[in-house]
Structure 1
Amino acid sequence: MNVTLILFQIDTTLEESALSPAPPENVGREQAKGCWQPGRSGNPRGKPKGARNHATRAAEALLEGEANALTRKAIDSALAGDVMALRLCMERILPARKSRLVNFELPAVKSATDLPAALAALIEAIAQGNLSPDEATPIAALLDAQRRAIETTELEKRIAALEAGRALS
């Protein structure tokens, strides 16, 4: 799409809105509340997926074909000592790490008696530098959730056995 075409579309939209009559001054919240019936939307299907705002499309059209020049300018500014440009470039080259896959030996946990060995393996991985404490924390939380699930299952079995014993008496 041509840049001038988009700008023309924006201008015509502005002209059309300027030509529309202004709402009366006495229109307040009470009258605005009655525009739609409760539970019914004015646009039941909602905004289509992938639909973008007019300003975003206009900005993309203006930048079309300029990405290489702008990137080169940012790099040149960073190399010249512009701290903000340097930060921008570094954030693109090496973004902040959110998470990573970790690989270490964790013994199987089938009962509550297996949990201490699993936690010991987790602590050993931290001590060896294979895991950071921040990476180990969610794993420890998973082990705790597994412990609770094991305890709940064992309690249900005990309660069922006790109830079965009472039924026989």
Structure 2
Amino acid sequence: MATATPWSPSSFTPAHRDYAKVKLTTWAITWGVILLASLVPAVLAATGAGIALWLVLAPILLVLLLALLALRIIRRQVAALGYLEREEDFIVRSGVMWRKQVVIPYGRMQYVEVNSGPLERRYGLCQLTLNTAGTGATAHVYGLPEREGQELRERLVAAGEEQML
């Protein structure tokens, strides 16, 4: 028997739209490096090594195909990110193909940290990481504006301290 969830997808706070730019930049850097590596057989063939044409073209075509597939899913991945603050717990969702929702009771939060890499800082974004006591569950909230991330961290810490009393 299936039960309906007490929250709707529209009730989640989504990742900031600039987080898609961070993901696209990361995609471009990663796949650019992989594409350069796939050009090694072409360079060897150009220097006179006896390499079959299919061994030169296959890695390049494979990398381009995989890169385009990864590119196609980025916007959906960002749209799938979100969080929901409830009275007793905090819910984090993510994933397109493998969907994941982590429900963390405020009383189980051990610590909450705010991180940001160079690309995230460039767009004024951060990532919030929640770690829990006991089972060691960790939840990540991606694509938060820096100020919102700090405020959310303070609210979560306050809610966690309130639940522990």
Calculate the TM-score normalised by the size of structure 1.
Answer: 0.25
Higher relative contact order (CA 8 A, sep 6+): 2
Higher strand share: 2
